[in-house]
């Protein structure tokens, strides 16, 4: 979940918004954008599964169907590509969650009451749950993010400043607001981390979860089952008053 507006300037040299659509007639530009995207899409699962050091640019180029100099042309080097992968993750989270995040932040900022903030908390977390569970890319993202959490590297600052920190802060603020507090403290932030990380764990462990729950929960019903679990978690952390 991110609160920043689309179109931000590059962070550490990496533009975190998707490339713009080329104007009519600019087929060369469009091809370049598509090639860059194809490289990122090949690199993300490779980095996620093996880590930065274990993946070669030659391996990524082969998976993307491009020649090796294309990586240098678009990204400079392997670290530039790694940071671009982080930027891609942030951009996709932004696309999926920005509308509900902006609405929730606006409600909290103007001093909305506990009931409304609780509703926004629900919408934010359910949007995140559906996004993670329904995206074919989420496994690669989750593994990539987990590696950066466990062993901070070249993408840590991008993910922390543009994804983790604003997401945890927003959820923490909403939890605090539902309790009638003016601001969140370490307790609400810790609860926010717990709720968000629980959702990302479902994405990275999807294969094992499907197997554990079969046949009682069909894979295509897992998203809604997770959403019901989120509802119960919210009720446990911030019960409806009155």
Q: pLDDT per residue over 228-238, tens digit each?
A: 989 998 888 87
Residue 186 lies in a domain: yes
Residue 21 lies in a domain: no
CB 203 within 8 A of CB 132: yes
Of the candidates 8, 76, 64, the one whose C-alpha atom is nearest the C-alpha of residue 37 is: 64
Name 11's bridge partners: 14
CB 171 within 8 A of CB 1: yes
- Report the range of poorest mean pLDDT among 41-45, 58-62, 132-136: 132-136
What is the predicted pLDDT for the residue at 222?
A: 82
Above 90 in pLDDT, residue 225? Answer: no
Q: Per-residue pLDDT averaged across 164-174, rounded?
A: 95
| Domain region containing 118 | 27-237
Enter the tokens of residue 81: 């590509």
Residue 11 lies in a domain: no
- Environment class of residue 94 by beta-carbon count within 10 Å: exposed (0-12), middle (13-18) or buried (19+)? buried
Above 80 in pLDDT, residue 26? Answer: no
Size of the chain, expressed as the number of residues it contains: 242
Above 70 in pLDDT, residue 217? Answer: yes
Residue 165 lies in a domain: yes
Task: Give per-residue burial for 45-71: e unless 16+ CB within 10 Å, then b.
Answer: bbbbeeebeebebeebbebbebeeebb
Q: Where are the alpha helices (DSSP H) in 113-164?
A: 114-134, 138-150, 156-159
Residue 13 lies in a domain: no
Phi, psi of 14 (to 5 degrees): -115, 120
Q: Per-residue pLDDT averaged across 55-61, rounded?
A: 96
Residue 242 lies in a domain: no
Of the candidates 134, 170, 143, 137, the one whose C-alpha atom is nearest the C-alpha of residue 4 is: 170
Above 50 in pLDDT, residue 141? Answer: yes
Tally of domains in the chain: 1
- Measured distance CA(159)–CA(93) in Å, rounded: 11
Q: Per-residue pLDDT averaged across 206-214, rounded?
A: 79
What is the predicted pLDDT for the residue at 33?
A: 86
Secondary structure, 3-state, 206-233: HHHHHHHHCCCCCHHHHHHHHHHHHHHH
- Measured distance CA(1)–CA(63) in Å, rounded: 30
Residue 85 lies in a domain: yes
What is the predicted pLDDT for the residue at 239?
A: 72
Name 89's bridge partners: none
Residue 18 lies in a domain: no
Query: What percentage of the chain reaches a pLDDT higher than 70?
Result: 85
Cβ within 8 Å of residue 36, ≥6 positions away = 19, 74, 84
Q: Give 143 or 227, the one with higher predicted confidence.
A: 227
Cα radius of gyration rounded to whole Å, the chain: 19
The domain spanning residue 183 has which CATH number?
Answer: 1.10.357.10
């Amino acid at each position: 979940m991110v609160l920043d507006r689309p179109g931000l300037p590059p962070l550490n040299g990496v533009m975190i918004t998707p490339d713009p659509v080329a104007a009519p007639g600019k087929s060369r530009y469009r091809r370049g954008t598509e090639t860059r995207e194809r490289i990122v899409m090949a690199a993300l699962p490779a980095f996620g599964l093996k880590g930065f050091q274990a993946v070669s640019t030659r391996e990524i180029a082969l998976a993307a169907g491009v020649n090796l100099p294309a990586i240098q042309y678009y990204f400079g080097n392997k670290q530039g590509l790694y940071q671009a992968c982080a930027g891609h993750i942030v951009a996709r989270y932004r696309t999926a969650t920005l509308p509900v995040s902006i609405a929730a932040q606006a409600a909290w900022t103007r001093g909305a009451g506990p009931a409304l903030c609780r509703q926004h908390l629900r919408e934010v977390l359910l949007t995140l749950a559906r996004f993670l569970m329904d995206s074919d890319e989420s496994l690669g993202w989750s593994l990539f993010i987990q590696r950066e959490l466990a062993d901070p590297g070249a993408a840590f600052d991008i993910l922390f400043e543009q994804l983790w920190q604003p997401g945890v802060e927003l959820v923490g603020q909403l939890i605090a607001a539902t309790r009638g507090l003016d601001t969140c403290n370490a307790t609400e932030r810790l609860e926010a981390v717990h709720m968000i990380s629980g959702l990302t764990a479902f994405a990275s462990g999807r294969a094992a979860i499907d197997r554990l729950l079969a046949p009682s929960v069909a894979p295509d019903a897992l998203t809604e089952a997770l959403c019901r679990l989120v509802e119960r978690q919210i009720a446990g952390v911030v019960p409806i008053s009155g």
